[in-house]
Amino acid sequence: MDQQQFYDRLNDRMLRYGASPLDQTQVVTITASPGYLASYDGQVAALVACNLLGRLSPSVQIGFPDIPIHPRLPWAGRSLVKHALDGMRTADPFGSYGTRQVTAGDFRFHLGPDGHNTVIHGSGWNAYIGTGPSQLSPIESDVGIGAALAVVLGAANLFRTRFGAMTESFACNAWDWTDVPKRVEFSPVEISLGHVMTAGLGSVGSAANYFLALATRDFRATLIDPDGVGIHNITRSPIFTDADAKIDLAKVEAVAAFLRRAGVEDVADDPVALHQSALWNLRETGATDVLISAANEFNVRYHIEMGFPPVQLYATTGRNWQATLMRHVPGAKACSLCMFPPDEKFAPTTCATDGPTAHQTTVEEKRPDAALPFLSFAAGLMTAAEVLKLNYPGYPFSAKRVMLGLKEQPLLVGTSIPHRTGCLCEGRHKGVHKAAIAGSRYAKFSI
């Protein structure tokens, strides 16, 4: 495959979205304030910036000095610059990635609270982009979520304006998902998450696992997805590489390999659809603590809800430059099928009150997905942030549905999830559901 064929496939989903790739001749140079780069938040920002911008553009240079990776991150002690460069080059073997000082004509993507006239800065759960210095007060605890969110916001602005100047500032937080920064010192780093099952390891599901692993390796991961990695998947996932696509590697195997390299010891994977997976169908009562439900084929929501799921967290990307986070707790009035009704061709005939029953499915025609890289990163990050907050007393802190809009100035809107009349959850027995999740880490959130 030659270079043009590679980029045609790489940018296929972006073009289907109605957007065009960035100018390949415009160099993006990532710089960072020295003090910020030495911190956990600063290194999360650097790693995410190189990962995301390297998938958005084939012309990225690292303009910050090399230091060892922070001891509380995966790959601790290794060269930060080498790790970041290796990641960009494995995603795009034809790209121009290297290290040099920022020069005239470069677009400068600057990380940190100061050091440039515009900054991308995250501190704790808070994120800021705009004119320097940053408006955020320093947070002492290691978090990384705000830092990653700031990079996503900055990348969206770069893409939207086509390397235009950042003329407006924006601050927000990932704690209660509002545009008012919050001083929260809780660190999810090295917190035990329990058993995290992910159904769907496409762009959002893989991104969620990437961001979880940046914070902690203390969780048991179960990965379920029937598909292989294609070149068109590379731009929207922080994990998939060109080497994965060349051999059509199963997505679950690619994510499992990443998690193991990052230090997650207990990883199981099943390269089938959820309704075919023994890891889902034969799981023991209370064995799964949280479900990241990032799949959207084979009437997956029906099979999830018929299986009496634990806490569900996931996010979707939309056609209007938005990522929408959703949360469903057992016993709530609105389930995921209220949001995503089953396909009209599908006629469920099983009972929803007596426990899990035989699964049904239909053959569905695959519908090509279309999304922008920073939207998939945003959706995965929002999902991971919610999983990481589950251990904090008083959770949840936001509406059940939160939309992050990035088409213009960033916008955060929280709303409820309405019940859909006629949904199968109307007849689901709450007692049976509670019994099915009894003993799980987050069963306390059930209603």
**How does pLDDT run along the chain (447 residues), one tens digit per residue?**
899 999 999 999 999 999 999 999 999 999 999 999 999 999 999 999 999 999 999 999 999 999 999 999 999 999 999 999 999 999 999 999 999 999 999 999 999 999 999 999 999 999 999 999 999 999 999 999 999 999 999 999 999 999 999 999 999 999 999 999 999 999 999 999 999 999 999 999 999 999 999 999 999 999 999 999 999 999 999 999 999 999 999 999 999 999 999 999 999 999 999 999 999 999 999 999 999 999 988 999 999 999 999 999 999 999 999 999 999 999 998 999 999 988 655 444 343 334 433 334 333 344 557 789 999 999 999 999 999 999 999 999 999 999 999 999 999 999 999 999 999 899 888 899 999 999 999 999 998
Q: Which of 143, 173, 203 is the last residue of a domain?
A: 173
* 123 and 226 housed in the same domain: no
| Domain match, 326 and 429 both | yes
Out of 115, 144, 173, pick the residue that ends a domain.
Answer: 173
Whether residue 249 is found in the same domain as residue 112: no
Residue 394: other Cβ atoms inside 10 A: 6
Q: Say whether pTM exceeds 0.75.
A: yes
Residue-number span of the structural domain to which 301 is assigned = 194-445
CA distance 122 to 111: 9
CA 37, CA 39: separation in Å to the nearest integer? 5
In a 3-state reduction of DSSP, which class is residue 321?
A: coil
- Residue recorded with tokens 């003993």: 439
Residues 167 and 311 in one domain: no
Residues 227 and 304 in one domain: yes
What gap in Å lies between CA 335 and CA 304, rounded to an integer? 10
First-last CA distance in the chain: 54
Task: Based on the fold, state whether residues 333 and 437 are members of the same structural domain.
Answer: yes
Residues 243 and 164 in one domain: no
Closest by CA position to 417, among listed 307, 314, 308, 320: 314
Q: Which residue among 173, 207, 229 closes a domain?
A: 173
- Same-domain pairing of 74 and 156: yes
Tell me whether residue 350 is in a domain.
yes
In a domain, 389, yes or no: yes
Q: Answer whether residue 342 is part of any domain.
A: yes
Nearest to 146 by CA among 168, 171, 114: 171
Q: Give yes or no for a contact between 146 and 41, defined as CB atoms under 8 angstroms apart.
A: yes
The verdict on residue 180 lying in a domain is: no
Looking at the domain assignment, is residue 263 inside a domain? Answer: yes
Residue 185 in any domain: the answer is no
161, 204: one domain: no
Q: Domain holding 293: CATH number?
A: 3.40.50.720
Report how many domains make up the chain.
2
Cis peptide before 133 (omega within 30 of 0): yes
Let me know if residue 274 belongs to a domain.
Answer: yes
Residue with tokens 């990052």: 262
Residues 89 and 119 in one domain: yes
181 within domain boundaries: no
Claim to verify: residue 355 and residue 400 sit in the same structural domain: yes
Same domain, 162 and 112: yes
